[in-house]
């Protein structure tokens, strides 16, 4: 279990890097990690998942600018999702979804942008796994995901500032693979998490303009895996 946690947090760190560099149009294969504030190269000892954040006490060692706690938190959540997914029959599918969700979360958090290629990648990769291991999708999956898409689209039209197009497409894909009832539970958990975070920000007298929702979907998905 310990080895799984260590490897999972390392993978999560790489996925976060990919999500961030995709939206800033940087090469995520080459180039060393650097501080977003002062652009100083980060030493390897501070790149150790979770522990690196604790060693540098959540601040850049050069400019002392605060490093977001999102990094260690998302790494631990991803590790929890991996452990939970390993207990299910569709482990591969659930890991594919968790991985894409983490990349999308990083993109949404940094620039409030979720590239379409990530959602297309999730759909195609998940569909390939589904066809190879679980057979052809049923009509009920198509009908359920279409119903949810129309419902969310209607809500988006009625409340333009409520839910974004990327959220609608992502939730539709999740509904296709996980089923309507499971997806509705994930939406409920994501909304509760987002509301709790908003209340906390309000209590701290911190203003916020637009709340990235994909990170909360990712958190809710991990919670769903643990609960199920």
Per-residue pLDDT of the chain (228 residues; tens, 9 = 90+): 888 999 999 999 999 999 988 888 777 777 777 777 787 777 777 778 888 888 888 787 778 788 888 889 999 999 999 999 999 889 999 999 999 999 999 999 988 899 999 999 999 999 999 999 988 888 999 999 999 999 999 998 888 777 888 999 999 999 999 999 999 999 999 999 999 998 988 888 776 667 899 999 999 999 999 998
Cβ contacts of 183 within 8 Å, gap of 6 or more? 148, 171, 174, 175
Note the pLDDT of residue 161. Answer: 73
Q: What is the pTM of this model?
A: 0.92
Note the pLDDT of residue 204. Answer: 81
- C-alpha dihedral, 32 to 33 to 36 to 42, nearest 10°: -100
Residue environment code for 113-135, b if the CB has 16+ CB neighbours within 10 A, otherwise e: ebbeebbebbbeebeebbeeeee
Helix (H, G, I), strand (E, B) or coil at 66: strand
């Amino acid at each position: 279990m310990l080895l799984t946690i260590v490897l999972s947090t390392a993978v999560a760190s790489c996925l976060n890097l990919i999500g961030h560099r995709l939206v800033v149009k940087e090469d995520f294969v080459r180039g060393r990690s650097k501080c977003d504030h002062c652009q100083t190269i980060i030493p390897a000892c501070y790149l150790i998942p979770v522990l690196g954040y604790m060693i540098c006490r959540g601040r850049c060692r050069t400019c002392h600018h605060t490093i977001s706690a999102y990094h260690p938190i998302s790494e631990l959540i991803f590790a929890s999702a991996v452990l939970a997914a390993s207990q299910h029959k569709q482990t591969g599918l659930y890991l594919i979804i968790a991985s894409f969700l983490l990349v999308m979360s990083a993109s949404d958090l940094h620039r409030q942008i979720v590239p379409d290629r990530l959602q297309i990648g999730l759909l195609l990769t998940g569909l390939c796994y589904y066809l190879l291991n679980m057979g052809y999708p049923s009509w009920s999956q198509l009908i359920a995901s279409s119903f949810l898409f129309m419902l969310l689209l209607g809500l988006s039209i009625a409340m333009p500032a409520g839910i974004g197009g990327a959220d609608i497409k992502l939730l539709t894909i999740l509904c296709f693979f996980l089923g309507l009832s499971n997806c509705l539970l994930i939406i409920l958990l994501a909304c509760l998490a987002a509301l709790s975070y908003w209340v906390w920000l309000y209590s701290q007298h911190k203003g916020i303009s637009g709340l990235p929702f994909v990170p909360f979907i990712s958190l809710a998905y991990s919670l769903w895996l643990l609960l199920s």
